[in-house]
Amino acid sequence: MAHRTVSWTALSRSLHDARPVIAAGALSAKARVEGFARINRRRLVTSAGAFDRSAIMGAAAFAAKAHQERFGGTWAEAMSVCLKAAWNSAKVARHLAAH
């Protein structure tokens, strides 16, 4: 029977590298999306439980402008991060409204 050794350092590093990477500015984008919805009094979810896509897109565009100014990426990168944050906020809002 062969004898194997375990490199705990290599194992630890591989676990660390396997963690999902959070995009730069994702938390600030989520805060800007929620702030936009609160200030403009536009709900991301209608009372019937459907998503308000125009409100989601407006909030994402607002957050993307600030994201692009702060992090200096392309418009596509900023919209990607902010749309993910906007849809995540809308899904949480719909879940909270249902319960």
pLDDT at 1: 61
Q: Is residue 10 part of a domain?
A: no
Residue 46 CA to residue 21 CA, distance in Å, equals 32
Q: Is residue 7 part of a domain?
A: no
Measured from the Cβ of residue 77, the count of other Cβ atoms closer than 10 Å reads: 17
Domain around 44: 24-98
Give tens-digit pLDDT for 46-71: 888 899 999 999 999 999 999 999 99
pLDDT at 4: 76
Task: Please say if the pLDDT value at position 3 is more than 80.
Answer: no
Give tens-digit pLDDT for 13-49: 888 887 877 777 888 999 999 999 999 998 899 888 8
**What are the Cα distances from residue 26, in Å, to 1, 12, 37, 51?**
50, 26, 17, 21
Q: Is residue 3 part of a domain?
A: no
Q: Is residue 13 part of a domain?
A: no
DSSP label at residue 40: T
Q: Is residue 8 part of a domain?
A: no
Q: Is residue 60 part of a domain?
A: yes
